Structures are given as structure tokens and as C-alpha cells.
Structure 1
């Protein structure tokens, strides 16, 4: 068993594996045949030989000449000659005729004539008149015998006929048949090895030359790769039956291990067999960007593969890239502006106009480091402080004044499962406030944040033109924007969805000269 386990766990090719296990199977078959069919064959042959011996003994017991001589006690010893002649024409080892007392009239060994028959198996014939087969040890050794009583014309038992075959001869016959059967099995073993070789070659060709352990590894790698990507991946056969799906696809389309069909919206594209790139497909009122590719074998389409991603997610990525690009452009502009400013300062220094150089440096061209220190002192959470400081620099570059309310305070470190969403929430809301302030004369926004109580409360007030109360609910819709075609309208949509995930909420109300946005986030929430 250990040898088989080691062989199975080792890296053995398909051909040796099939040959070894097929050989073991045939050997096991040979062994079982030797034990089981050998015993069955022996019993069958013994039964046939016994019936043959009984049939011969019956025939002899019915012969009138034999009956007459036995009834007269064979006065001239004629029975021995008659039986010898009969025995020469058949293959029985012995034919013995006895009287009603079991005294022999004939025997292969003439010296035993006149003596009592041995074996103690004559009573059923001599007493009860039965015809039967028995096994006993006689003068010639263990034998299989057919016993028949001899009746006279009055129906009286006057003698017995015993026809026997020695067990050694029976065993020889069984062995001959057994060898013949084993010969057929050895031929079957050779044929099995040949078939195993051809089958393994055929299987390996069907498996594209891969060994089973290689296919197993490829399958595990394929499963890991499929579930590592963020796109939904599906595969179907030529009838539209699902053959493969990754975890993302199961989540998108509500599939499970029992699902074999796809939504109807996808089936009509998959059954077409046409390749498609970046196609927008609506499933259950959700837009997906999909790519479809046919699976081709021998110039025939045997299935389709489709990859999908929610359009919202792709739009969000595009929005982030666009925003990053715009921010990079602004940085380049500020770089040139700051470079020109340095050149001007350098020029004043070189001509000796130090007062003017100092005056330019003292102007509001650089961020106030004291405000940065204020952020660090009042906000102990590094994530919130980093976001606010980053937005302070961003607002400064845009020409907007960003102030932190003196009553603001974050005393505790916020759990990472919550703070990881602050970039989306605070970043979008502060960016909107900066954009709104740009369109006003004051160009100012004010922040307030506190973690007193069970919630994190964030409030931002801008100096913009405000917002129409009828549009407050609409601004949270996906794709809605009032900033023009260069903005996606996904910022507040993402903010609201993220807050709902965290059991928080957002309110927007007009102020005296702008808009006040308030956000409430529970401190303890499982996401």
C-alpha cells in the first residue's frame, strides 16, 4: 500500500501510471480467478466425473448378463473378464462388482477378488437401493465413485457396482483446465498492456501533451488568476451553457454552483458568436462594459468568453485620471509661476534692490506654516490631518483660503476600517467647496471636525453662490454635475454610497453666502 501511495504521489507520466495500475488490476484478476474460479472449476469437474461414474455403474448394473452371474455368485469367475473388457473401453480407474455382502467378484487387482470391499460407503446401495456418488479411500487410494445396486428379477438387491476415478486423475484434469484458463488470462494481460499504451497516447494527445499533474496545476493556477482580477469573466459553450465563471461574475450576476444559464441580456450576445470590444450591455438596470471573444477549435466556434466591468467603476477610474491630469497641469502652471517669481527675486538681489526682494518674499505667495502646525496640533489622527493639509495646499494654489475652526478637535486615532474611506468622502466634498469658492469674491472655505460623542462630525462652509434647494437631492445622482462637460458627476454619488455603507449620512443646506455641508460618521461600524 505504501509503495502504491509513493508511486501515486511521485511525478510519473500518464503512460507508466496506466500501465502499472492496469497491470495491478489484471494481476488481481488473475489471483481472484485462481482462487475462486479454480475452486468452482474443481467442483464442476468433480460433479461431471462423479455423474459419469454413476452413469457407467448404472449401465453395468442393468446388464442382464451381469445380473445373472451375480445372482449365481459367478461360479466360473466370468465377471472379472467381462469387467476387464468394459474397463478397457472407458477411462475409469476401476470397476468393482460385489455381492449383497460387499464381497468382490471383480477388481483391477485380482488378488483382492473375494475380499470385502473397503471404503464403508456401500450401505446406501446394498441396504436402501440408492444410486449415488461418494468419496472414499479404497485400496487404490482416494477416489470419486459412482455406486449402483444390482437388482434381480424379483427386485431384490443381490449386489453392487462401483465405478471410480482416482482423485489424482481428477486433480490432473482440473489443473489442465486451470492452465488453459490462465493462458487466456495471460493473453488478456498482454492485450491490456497494449490497450493501455494506445489509450494513454490517445489521452495525452487529447490533453494537448500535458500530464495529469500538469493539468491539475494549470487548473489551480487558472482558478487563482480568474479570482484575482477585478473583471467578471464568463465562458459558455456553443449552446450558451455556462462552463466557467469567477467570483466577480458570480457576484455581479447572482450566479452559484447550480447556475448553468446566464441572464437573457448576455445570452443574445454570447450566442451570436461575434467578437465585440467595449460593448455597453445593460443587465438588471446596470450598465456593463464588456468584451466578447469566440473560442475557436479547428476553425469552428465552440464557445464564447466574455469579460465585464461595471460602467460606474470604469467611469470612476476615468474621472480619477482626468482629475489627476488636471491637477498635474495646475502643478506645472504653478511651477512656471514660482520659477518666474524666483527669477524676479534673483534679479532684485543682483541689482541691489534688497528691500523689494524682501517685500516680494513677504507677500502671500507661500503657504502659512503656522496654519499647518495648527492642523497637526488640533487633529491627532494622521489620515485626517494629511487630507486637510493636502487640501490646504491645493486651495492655496487655487487662490482659496482654507481655515480650520478653532473648536475643531480629533483626540483619538480613528480605526483604519473607517479612515480608509475619508479620502473619498472628505476629498470630494472639500474639492466641491473649493470649486464653489472660486466663483465668489471672498474665495474662502471653513472646516470644522470633531470626534466628541459617538460620531465623527465634519462640516464645511464655502463662500460660493449657494445651491438651489430643489437640486439638493439631484446632486447625489450618478453622473449629475453642474460644472460642465469636463466633470463626471460621480464625486457626491461616491460620497453618498460610501456613507451608506458606513451607516453615516450627509446633509447640504444653503448658508447666508454659500453652502454648508455636514457629514456624520459613526465611530464604531463594521464594513
Structure 2
């Protein structure tokens, strides 16, 4: 038994199926043989009863019972019927069960070894199996009636079970050949099935398959990146814990199509392959995900796709923070460059002896910068947003453009609460406007004002504007009209829309002498 349990999977399957085939064939043969034996018994019983009734109905038999020595008449009749019908015996007895005819003449005059089974008392025929002087036999018994209808005796006709068994033995060879053919065919089929299973499992044993499954589950649910598998019909066949957490899915989503799951259109496009490419950036809820979709082939046939998902939310936030820091650095560099130029001018005037001119130049420059800074601080009381606008103003000057704060701007101190979303929205809209003026220069007008419903932002530029057909596309993640460079592109406006929508606001764009972006950033409940 231990050797059998340690045998290969193919061997165990072969032996198991062979046992099943043998039991099935053997059981079928046994049932068939038993059924055939029962049929033979019933046939011989009916045949014996027919002969017994025919003998009992002969006039000679009836009349012989009235003679002093009935056996002289009945014995020859019984012998003739036995020889003519092929029965193993024909016995005739009177009402007292004394034999008048028997295959063995020595038994004539003796009583029957078995009763008449109710034939003599009820006058009804009987069939069955009994054991007599000649052995166990299949019998049929019929009453002998006189002219008045009274029972005066009985006739018993039987076929020995040896004869029935001989007939069954004659019918067995075809059955045995059939069973043998079934066994051979079943063995061949079992061997083919075992070979096919061995080929489909690549020759791996059950313990090896179990180990692979455990390793697969451990790897899939242990990796930090999300893994999502799709079949050819776009149904989810596998999702690990990380992907389930990133996409907000449940275990019940396995087996569903991507069109049935709570995903954005952009996410569905990437998962379905309608937006092909590597490292596709998708915004999902509050996360920035990077997706890669690769085909899966089994035995050189396409079977589906596997999609990996990487969470780059913190990386993008850090990148935007770095951009803000870079913008501030650029502004400081531009101011330092401008300050150096002005200092050189002052030094030159002093060397020329133009002291009054130098003093006037310094005074005008200081007053202009002070008025600009004071103008922003007067309208924008929040220091973080004011610093952002000052930095963007310096950046615009460095890039050959100008940033103008609209007259309706008014941000009261403390009205923004946490300024991070406001800085994100204003910073991205201004950066987008400056990019639109990168080749031509021009003016960027910014309006920021706080009202009861939140922060209203309007950023317009004097650039070429937005094509009407792209008014909605510009907010889609991955959309960009800029030349490709390192880092994820097309996220600024998408993040702006996400920040506004997350608070229940909106962001829109239209053309009015250039592109004009308007946005509403509602206040958070805890800030109210």
C-alpha cells in the first residue's frame, strides 16, 4: 500500500482506473449471469408447467386413475412424454402422493419425497425449485381432475439444475469475450487518460503541484505591486491583495468583466488595451497608478493579459513639491540675476560720478518691487498662496512673460484652511498658462478670491487657446501637448480636477483671447 501511495500520479491514476474498469466489468458480468440464470429458471418452470398441464389433461391419464393398476398405463405415457419433450423427469402421483410413474421404476409405488406444494389441496398449478430423489430441479406441477372436476392426482415435470447450469455455461463464453474486450478497451483508455494527465501537469506530482500553488499564492499576495490577470474576454481571473487595495475591488469581482467594475473610463481603456503602451499613468481615487499590460501565452497560444499596478502617489506628490521648490529657486535665481544687474548699474553710475542718478535709480527700483509685493500681499492675505504668486511672477518674468493679479482678487487670511489643495490648483493652472506662452511670451492674468462656497480661481493667458474639441481632453491624465521629457507628463491638470472634484467642486476651460481656466475649490467641512 505504501508503494502505491508513493507511486507517480500517472501510475496511481492508471491503477485506480483499472480497478474501476475491473469492478465495473465484473459487476456487469455478475449481474448479467444472475439475470440470465433467473430467465432460464423462469423459462424452464413455465415449460415444465405446460408439459405437466398437457399430461394432466390427457384422457388416458384421467381414465388410468380408475384402474386397479394405474402404473401400467401411466408409466409408458410418462416415459414417452419425457423422451419427446426432453424433460429430465415426468412423475405422476395420486391424491395420496403415491407415485404411478417415475423415471426410476423402483420409485413407483412410493410416496413423493416432497409435497405437492398445495396442488392436491387447492387444485391450482405450481412452479418453483425443489430438491427430490433426482436432485435439485426446476419444476412445474398440475392437478389431475376426474370427470366430476375432483382432484385425483398430480403430474410433476422437472428440469435438473445441472441442465440449466449447462445451458448457462453455453451462454457464458460470449459474455466472457465481451468482458475481456471491455477490460482491454478500458485499460487502453485508462493508459491514455493517465498519459494525458501526465502531459497536462507537465509530469508534476501532486505534492509538487501543491507546492507550486502555495508558492504562487505566497508570491502573488506577498508582492507590494498590484497584479491583475484578464482572460481573452476581458474578465478578471486573478487579483492579488495589493491590486484589490489599489483598485478598491472585492473577492467577488473575480470572474467579472472590467466593464462591470467601478473603474474610471481611463482605467478601463488601459486595462482593455485601448490605450496601449508602457507605464501608463492613471488617476484612481486619490492615487496615482502606473500600469503595464503584458500578454500571457500558454504553449505558444495567447490566453490573456497580466497587468501590474504601481502606486506612485507619494512619488508624484514629491515631484510636485520639487517642482514648487524648483520654481521658487528659479524665482530666487532670477531675482538674484536681476539684483546683480541693478547693482552693476548702480556701481557704474557711482564710478561716473552720477550720484544723484544712482540714488534715484535705487529709489525707483525699490519702490517698484515694494509696490508689486505689497499689491499681492494686500489682495492675498494667506502667506503660502501669496508666496506662490510672487514666485510665479518672478518665474514669468524670467521666461519673458508677465503675471498680473486681477483686481477682483481677494483672499482673506484663514479662509483657506489647509492651503495645500489651493497651492496645487493655482500652481498647476499658472504653470500650464506659462507653458502656453513659452514660445511667444505674453501675459497671464490670475484671479483668486474666497467666497462662502470656497476658493474661486481664474487663470487666463494670451496664448493660442484650447481647441474646442480638446476642452475635456486636457483634464485627462496622460494628455499633454508638451514635448516628452523625463517624468510623468499630463498630470497637472488631471490632479487639479481631481482635487476640485474630491471637494465637490469643478474646473473648466474656455477661450477668451486665449485659454481661460476657472475652478471652484470648496472649503472642507472641518475648515468651515
TM-score between both structures, scaled by the size of structure 2:
0.55
Residue of structure 1 equivalent to 2:280: 279
Tell me, yes or no, if the aligned pair for 1:204 and 1:210 is still in contact at 8 Å. yes
5 Å-filtered alignment, 1:75-114, equals: 77-114=72-109
Distance 1:290 1:202, change over 3 A: same
Residue of structure 1 equivalent to 2:9: 13
Question: Which 10-residue stretch deviates more, 124-133 or 472-481?
Answer: 472-481
Superposition CA RMSD, Å: 4.3
Provide, for residues 162-214 of structure 1, a one-character-per-residue CA deviation record: whole Å limited to 9, x for no partner: 01122344445456656754553343222111001112223333444544443
Distance 1:127 1:85, change over 3 A: same
Structure 1 residue 94 displacement after superposition: 0.9
Separation (CA, whole Å) in 1 of partners of 2:62 and 2:211: 86
Tell me, yes or no, if the aligned pair for 2:270 and 2:291 is still in contact at 8 Å. no
Tell me, yes or no, if the aligned pair for 1:474 and 1:480 is still in contact at 8 Å. no
1:474 matched to 2:419: yes
Residue of structure 2 equivalent to 1:434: none
Residue of structure 1 equivalent to 2:62: 67
Residue of structure 1 equivalent to 2:215: 221
Distance 1:167 1:283, change over 3 A: same
Separation (CA, whole Å) in 2 of partners of 1:134 and 1:186: 35
Residue of structure 1 equivalent to 2:525: none
Structure 1's unaligned 5+ residue stretches are 323-467, 489-527
Structure 1 residue 135 displacement after superposition: 3.2
Distance 1:116 1:299, change over 3 A: closer
Residue of structure 1 equivalent to 2:306: 305
SS class of match (2:91):
strand
Tell me, yes or no, if the aligned pair for 2:9 and 2:198 is still in contact at 8 Å. no
Structure 1 residue 306 displacement after superposition: 0.8
SS class of match (2:154):
strand
Distance 1:477 1:245, change over 3 A: farther
Provide, for residues 20-46 of structure 1, a one-character-per-residue CA deviation record: whole Å limited to 9, x for no partner: 111222343356557766655544443
Distance 1:219 1:273, change over 3 A: farther
Distance 1:23 1:59, change over 3 A: same
Tell me, yes or no, if the aligned pair for 1:276 and 1:293 is still in contact at 8 Å. no
5 Å-filtered alignment, 1:292-331, equals: 292-296=293-297, 301-315=302-316
SS class of match (2:278):
strand
Structure 1 residue 119 displacement after superposition: 0.9
Distance 1:115 1:476, change over 3 A: same
Tell me, yes or no, if the aligned pair for 1:481 and 1:487 is still in contact at 8 Å. no
5 Å-filtered alignment, 1:352-363, equals: none
Provide, for residues 69-119 of structure 1, a one-character-per-residue CA deviation record: whole Å limited to 9, x for no partner: 345466582432332232223342211112232222221111212322221
The correspondence for 2:154, drawn from 147, 160, 163, is: 160
5 Å-filtered alignment, 1:56-455, equals: 56-72=51-67, 77-120=72-115, 122=116, 124-174=118-168, 181=175, 183-259=177-253, 260-261=255-256, 262=258, 263=261, 264=263, 265=265, 266-272=267-273, 275-284=276-285, 286-296=287-297, 301-315=302-316
Separation (CA, whole Å) in 2 of partners of 1:317 and 1:40: 86
Structure 1 residue 296 displacement after superposition: 3.8
Tell me, yes or no, if the aligned pair for 2:146 and 2:152 is still in contact at 8 Å. yes
Separation (CA, whole Å) in 2 of partners of 1:236 and 1:487: 28
Structure 1 residue 293 displacement after superposition: 1.3
Separation (CA, whole Å) in 2 of partners of 1:220 and 1:477: 49
Distance 1:272 1:299, change over 3 A: farther
Tell me how many residue pairs correspond in the alignment.
346
Distance 1:213 1:480, change over 3 A: farther
Distance 1:276 1:59, change over 3 A: farther
Tell me, yes or no, if the aligned pair for 2:29 and 2:179 is still in contact at 8 Å. no
Provide, for residues 378-412 of structure 1, a one-character-per-residue CA deviation record: whole Å limited to 9, x for no partner: xxxxxxxxxxxxxxxxxxxxxxxxxxxxxxxxxxx
Distance 1:275 1:95, change over 3 A: farther
Structure 1 residue 239 displacement after superposition: 1.5
Structure 2's unaligned 5+ residue stretches are 324-412, 432-485, 489-528
TM-score between both structures, scaled by the size of structure 1:
0.55
Provide, for residues 217-271 of structure 1, a one-character-per-residue CA deviation record: whole Å limited to 9, x for no partner: 3222221111121111111111121111111122223333322324344444333
Distance 1:167 1:201, change over 3 A: same
Distance 1:76 1:89, change over 3 A: closer
SS class of match (2:252):
coil
